[in-house]
Chain A
Amino acid sequence: MKILAVCGMGIGTSVILTTNISKAVHDLGLDAEIEVADIWTADGAAADADVVMTSGELAAELGDMGVPVTVIDDFLDPEEVRARLAAVTGH
């Protein structure tokens, strides 16, 4: 599966979010690749993604992506990221 981490600028929040997504993927034993996109490139990058992870504000900005969009409140909390990823992937 492919997980897309979306942030506004592509250099800060997505890097931090990706750190915790990688950890969650490992903990859950998922076979997943993680890709990063900023708000401009998210639409194209989401075409072959299975799940999009981002913040509440950016989720509202993105609108309907055609794939589940999971909102993360605390980007630094590995447990929140793991729980949300587990819920959306059914693990």
Chain B
Amino acid sequence: MTEPPLSRLLPVDAILTTVHVSDWRSAIRTSGELLVATGVSTDDYVHQMLKAVDEYGPYIVITPGLALAHARPSPAVLRTGLSWAGLAAPVTFGHPQNDPVHLVIGLAAVDHDAHSSALSRLARMLADRGRQEKLRSAATPEQVHTLITEYEESERT
């Protein structure tokens, strides 16, 4: 089965670039609400994302400045998808090395495998610090989406 491309798992409607949040909870909630708004998950999943951090700590801050907010596959996930919440001002998650967080990427998956090549692509795209900086400083959701689509096309060729 062919996996949907990253640019389709993360549509323009699931991207915000300068969100004002008060703390890490509201940052995760914002990324979760984008998943709900784009039909990826129900509200329950947003609670599960918050609970995951309550239970296991801020390990979702996987690299300096970036949190990958997610929970387990569950009935609250309607389809696999991603969201992107660029924060107007960074917030701390309590991570010993990778705080403060400027960007929260929300992830919901229906199973353990279907999204893995899109997520690997996301990892390769963000591993380039220069490109990550460009994505983080993009002013509009359209700009973020265009940069992702361009990267995806460059990897394919």
Contact = CB atoms under 8 A, between A and B. Distances in A.
Partners in one complex: yes
Interface of A: 7-13, 15-16, 18-20, 36, 38-39, 55-58, 61, 73-78
B119 A74 contact: no
Interface residues on B, range: 20 to 34
Contact of A19 (B59, B72, B120): B120
A50 to B, nearest CB: 23
Contacts of B59: 7-8, 13, 55-58
B16 to A, nearest CB: 20
Contacts of A19: 119-120, 123-124
Contacts of A15: 115-116, 119-120, 123
Contact of B72 (A10, A18, A20, A58): A10
Contacts of B66: 76
12 contacts: A8-B52, A10-B72, A11-B73, A11-B109, A11-B115, A12-B119, A15-B116, A55-B62, A56-B59, A56-B97, A57-B59, A76-B63
A87 B76 CA distance: 41
